[in-house]
Structure formats: structure tokens, C-alpha cells
Structure 1
Amino acid sequence: MTPDVLLVIFAGLLGLLVGSFSNVLIWRLPRGENIAFPPSHCPNCDHRLGVADLVPVFSWLSLGGKCRYCKSPIKARYPVVELLTGIGYAAIAALFPPLTVGWGALGLMVLFTLLLVGSAIDLDTYTIPDELTLPGVALGVLFGFLNGQAGVEGLPDLAGAVQGALLGAGVVVAINQFGSWVLRRFRERSFPEFPIGYQQISLGLLAGAWLGPWWGAGVGLLSALVNVAARRVIRIPELLTLGGLLVSVMLGSAGYGPGMILMVQGALAAAGAVSLACGVYWWLHWRRHREDDGAADDTQVDASAMGFGDVKLAAVIGAFLGWERLLLALVVAVFAGAIFGVAQLALRSENRVKFGPFLALGAVVALLWGGALIGGYREMLGL
């Protein structure tokens, strides 16, 4: 048996164990519970689970899907998550041999866990916890640095991870911005966020088109500082920012400014940077008010008010996989979501599924087969 085969087996066993911990995250993160204490226990009778109760998959099968102590049913999701993680880790080890890829293989396994946990939580609560996505972006950038140090091919280095994260967040938030503007029939937002929110993201889009990603992000963040200094929201009309971006892209296509492609890249990356800054600010703001028990008196505390968990998830995917596989993930997600939506209409089902699980599915496709698909596309175009 070769070392690579042994590592695939080991990765599968590791995946089963990580899958067991993933079930802890899926249960506790949405409830704001500590993921380490108290030790694992039955959610129905609160009895602490023993070692024999925690063997991945086999404990659930041996107990007939019921708690050993109170006989209450245990969801089939528990062994499913464990099996999926084991299979996913083994597949990653087979396609990205750790002896060749090094830290990159571990990074992809971390990404797989983030996607699976985030999707399960999104299916349950229609939210993706910031505790999962924002540290996930940082981990993606860290693994990008390690990939660059080891000279790993096929995975992003530090610069590629940062670019992928910014473009991932930027593409999704731009779709959200323009979609919301159209649905509001081009009327302004009634309640802009203080001190930083969608207005600053729109400003980042416009400024990034002309000034590039970092200066564009700086303009958006400067606007937030102006709000802080004024102690109120200084309104920036979307007709100026979003409308101005559309005019800017048309001018770029006509040969003015940096050019259309660079303008679009700069706009998306700047908006992505501002949106991630928004995510970090509101996450910390919400946590502080939750601990102070003062959230009831603050209309700007609800972390879900920002409404872009998918934006941060796309940033995670871009950081780990790079911008090319990110775009492939988005294409797969849109097609999968459309097919599911048509099936729901045909079956007259009222169960709604948010975009997060489809985005995660697209990321898994891009992770496992992205290299071959992108290579085939380039060959078809003669690139």
C-alpha cells in the first residue's frame, strides 16, 4: 500500500472525527453556546455522552438512532454529516495528495468543513454565523500564505487569496446592491446603517472603478468616519453611486479611464473590502451589545440586519480557491438554484432554501473538479 493511499484512508478517518465535531458546531453556533463546554450531551435529557456514544456513524447505528439514556430520536443528520465529511476529506486527499500539496490539502479540508457546517446551519436557521465565515476568510488568507511559501501550484498564494476573498465578496454584494435597488424601483433606502453599511459599499463600488480596489475601499471607509464625526448618517444617493458606476462602466467600454475590465475588477474588489469591514464591525458590535444586555435599545445591533451572510461565504470560497474557481462556484450555484426553484414550482412546494447551500455546492464542485473544468474551458477558447 503506497503512502498516498494510506493518507487517503487516514484523511477519511480524520473526516469522520471532524464530522462529529461539525455536528457540535451546527447545534451550538446558532444558539450562541460555547463549542467546547459543557461536554457533549443529549439535547433532550441533557445526560453527558460517554465515549461509546460518540463513535462517528457506528454509535448512531448501534443505538438505532435513539439516545441511550432517554430513548429520544437522534436526527439522521448526525451520521450523514460525519459520512459526508469522511468522504469529502478522502476525496480531497486523493485529488490533492498531501505529500505533494502539503498545507494546501489541509486548507481544502478546512474549507469543506466550513461549507458543510455553514450549509447545515443555513438550512435550519436561514443564517450563516459570522463566527464561521469571518474567521474562515482569515484562515483562507493564512493558507494562501502557506501555499505561496511552499510553491503549491493550482491553489492561490497570499495575493491570490486576498484577491479571491475581495472579488468573492464584491461580486455577491454588487448583485445584492443592484437587485435591491431595482426591487425598490430605484428609490433610496429608508434606513441607512450607521456608521457603516450599504451606502459605503456602493460608494466603494464607484470609487474603486476609477481609483482601484484599495483607494476605492479607502473612500468607502472614509465615508464611515465622516458619519462618526457627524454623529449621523450623511446620505449618499444611490443614483450617484450605483448609477454612477453604470455610467463609469459604459465610459470604460468606450475607452475612457482605466478600461472596462480594470474598472469592474476595481469596483468589485473595493466593494468586497468595504463589505468585509462592515461584517467585522457589525459582528463585534452585536457581540458587545449582547454581552452588555443592551441590544433591545439599539436599533442597529441585529447582526442579520446587514443581510449578507452569502457575501462573506463567497469571500471564504474565494480566499481558499482563488477567483477563477470562485466564478465557477457561482455559476454552478446559480444553475443549481434555478433547477431547484423550477422543481419547487412544479411540485408546488413552499419550502424555501437560501442561496448559501447552493453556493457551498458550487464550491465543492469547483474544489473537486474546478481544475479540469477551467482547463477544458481555456482549451476550448484556445487560451
Structure 2
Amino acid sequence: LYLTQPTAGAFLQSLLISAVFLLILIIDIEHRLILHVVSLPSALLIGLLNSLNADLGLKRTLLGGAVGFFTFFLLYLAGVIFGRWIARRRSDAPEEEAFGFGDVMLAMVIGVTVGFPGVIEALIRGILAAGIFSLAYLAIMALRRRYEAFSPIPYGPFLILGGWWVYFQGWSTLESLLGMG
């Protein structure tokens, strides 16, 4: 952390962000939950700190949070609709959402952490990491003959991976694609 963010204030902010991400990651892996009591205060505190940051500022911080929240809110609604459709086809009651609202809140936390347009790259990296892991998991389970359709996998750790990547490495890939760098 210290090598990436050399000033004392930036180091402490990086430590706070890493602690929040680590807490969310562990809880999501163990319980498949992202608690609002963790994500909402974290978004407010990190958002406040980043709005005072000369690199991000208030506008990019708030826009990052809004883009993260609304993008994943639409995915959440699509997951609810998909879950109901599957349940209807199976003649079951819907078991659990394909995509939880905690993931929506986490996308907002990541958005205020990396700002706009960094949130776009962070979420894309998280989604790609989840997809790669899911394909590998499906292949392993199929080879072991233990495959079960719709096996839940916690999504938060992959989003956090994308958020960490962009926070510590920047959003250079997006800059290159958009001709900004």
C-alpha cells in the first residue's frame, strides 16, 4: 500500500479502503451477504474523502457512485426477473435472487472509491474475473460429475478484485481505449 500511495494521508485512505474491501470480501465468501450496515457508511466515508481529493473531486466521485449503483441496480432487476422466470418454468417459488442488492451497494462503494470513469473499468474487470472463475468452476464440477445448475457463487470478491485493481493501478486500459491517455 505504501509504495502505491506515498503520502501519509493517501496511505491511511488506502488502508481504510483495503480494510473495508477485505471485510466485505470475507463476509461475502463466508455468508454470501454484503451488509448494508458496512457498505452504506463506507460509501459515505470514502465518498467524502475522495470528494476532497484533488485527483477525483466531488463530481467524479459522485458520478462514479451513481454509475456503479444504477448499472448494478439494472442488473439486480434483471436477475430478479430471471429468477422469477426460472421459478415459473420449474413450478417453484423463487429461492434467492440471482444477484443480490448487496452487490448493488458494493458497486456504489467501488464507484465512489475509484470515481468516474474508473468505475467502468473496475466493474468490467470484476465481471470478467467472475466469468472466468465461473467457467473454471463449472468445468471442474462437470469433470467431477458434481455439477448442479444455478449453484450460487459470491459475486462480491470479484467486484472487489476489480475495484482494488483500478484503485491501485489506475484506469489506464480505459484511458487507452478512449484515447484519453
TM-score, structure 1 normalization:
0.39
Q: Which of the residues 103, 124, 147 maps onto 1:331? A: 124
The CA distance in 1 between the partners of 2:15 and 2:178, in whole Å, is 27
Instruction: Give the AA of the match of 2:112.
Output: A
- Asked which structure has the greater RCO (Cα within 8 Å, sep 6+), the reply is 2
What's 1:258 paired with? none
Measured on the aligned residues, the alpha-carbon RMSD in Å equals: 2.4
Alignment of 1:371 with 2:164, yes or no, is no
Residues 137-216 of structure 1: pairs in structure 2 closer than 5 A: 137-147=43-53, 152-153=54-55, 156-185=56-85
Computing the radius of gyration from Cα coordinates, the structure with the larger value is 1
What's 1:96 paired with? 5
The CA distance in 2 between the partners of 1:166 and 1:313, in whole Å, is 12
Alignment of 1:362 with 2:155, yes or no, is no
Runs of at least 4 residues off by over 6 Å: none
What's 1:343 paired with? 136
Gaps of 5+ in 2: 86-96
Residues 305-316 of structure 1: pairs in structure 2 closer than 5 A: 307-316=100-109
How much does 1:97 deviate?
1.9
Check conservation: 1:143, 1:320, Cα contact below 8 A: no
How much does 1:356 deviate?
0.4
What's 2:32 paired with? 126
Check conservation: 1:328, 1:370, Cα contact below 8 A: no
What's 1:68 paired with? none
The CA distance in 2 between the partners of 1:96 and 1:375, in whole Å, is 20
Q: Deviations over 1:75-111 (max 9, x none)?
A: xxxxxxxxxxxxxx2xxx222321xxx6444323211
The CA distance in 2 between the partners of 1:104 and 1:316, in whole Å, is 17
Alignment of 1:111 with 2:9, yes or no, is no
What's 1:234 paired with? none
The CA distance in 2 between the partners of 1:374 and 1:182, in whole Å, is 30
**Other structure's SS at 1:94 match:** coil
Q: Residue 352 and residue 178 in structure 1: after superposition, are their counterparts in 2 closer, same or farther (change >3 A)?
A: closer
Q: Deviations over 1:123-180 (max 9, x none)?
A: 0011112221111011122102321xxxx22xx2122222221221111011111332
How much does 1:343 deviate?
0.9
Percentage of identical aligned residues = 27
Matched positions, count = 162
